[in-house]
Amino acid sequence: MLETLTNSTMERWLLYLLIVGFTAAIFTSCGKDNYDAPSAKLTGKVTYNGQPVGVRGSNQSVRLQLWQDGFALRTPIDVYVTQDGSFSSMLFDGTYKLITVSGTGPWSHSSDTVVVQVNGNTEIGFPVRPYFALSGISYTLEGTDLTATLTVDQIDQTRSIEDISLLVGDTKFVDLGHFTKQQKATLKENGTLTIRMNVEEQLANNSALFARVAVKINGITEAVYDSETKKIK
């Protein structure tokens, strides 16, 4: 009888000790190894002459970099650009430098840096010099024939056009990696041109259809796109 009593008292004592110990461990560790998450949101748009530049948004293809001075180790923060030319990044307040990365966007690399002062949520415009600018883009669907008209202006003389194409896809994310049909223009010149494509099969098979034009540039992986996709069905 006495023995049982002693045992159960001891067990209870051990249990209390465990509870107190664990609670203490949980609360102390919480305070020590957690840092505040970055809370300031930097948003912006890649622009040329105030107009957004359309790019490939999928695949983390198009990228800018943020650098911050004053620390021992310099690690860039990659900022990915979405297909309408916008980008965003969660940061700590501070002074950053935003730059282009050579070859990872349809614009010429500039050694000029844009200094960004992040103080709470911040919005900026990031002007670039694309190799080509698109304007006057329109899409018309007559029956099953899709026609796109666009004007291509060469901005930077260092690169030429690889091809100009009209793409359709079944989601609003359309680019040279994601499309269901492509029609390349016969011309590879500046100026206004028209591309026609029969989309009968695509109209029949998809519940929605989106169109977009792209100008692929020689010598780099990227292309300039319409900054918006147009819903045609």
Contacts to other proteins by CB under 8 A: 58-59, 61, 73, 75, 101-104, 176-177, 182, 219-221
Give the span between the Cα atoms of 201 and 177, in whole angstroms. 20
Is 29 or 160 the residue whose CB approaches other proteins more closely?
A: 160
Is 100 or 227 the residue whose CB approaches other proteins more closely?
A: 100
Is 122 or 182 the residue whose CB approaches other proteins more closely?
A: 182
In the bound complex, what is the minimum distance in angstroms from residue 175's beta carbon to other proteins? 10
Structure tokens that stand for 71 in this block: 């620390």
In the bound complex, what is the minimum distance in angstroms from residue 144's beta carbon to other proteins? 21
In the bound complex, what is the minimum distance in angstroms from residue 177's beta carbon to other proteins? 6
In the bound complex, what is the minimum distance in angstroms from residue 221's beta carbon to other proteins? 4
Is 149 or 182 the residue whose CB approaches other proteins more closely?
A: 182
Is 102 or 144 the residue whose CB approaches other proteins more closely?
A: 102
Give the span between the Cα atoms of 214 and 55, in whole angstroms. 9
Which residue from 232, 233, 222, 231 is spatially nearest to 58, judged by alpha carbons? 222
In the bound complex, what is the minimum distance in angstroms from residue 54's beta carbon to other proteins? 18
In the bound complex, what is the minimum distance in angstroms from residue 160's beta carbon to other proteins? 13
Distances (CA, A) of 72 to 65, 91, 175: 18, 18, 40
Is 23 or 102 the residue whose CB approaches other proteins more closely?
A: 102
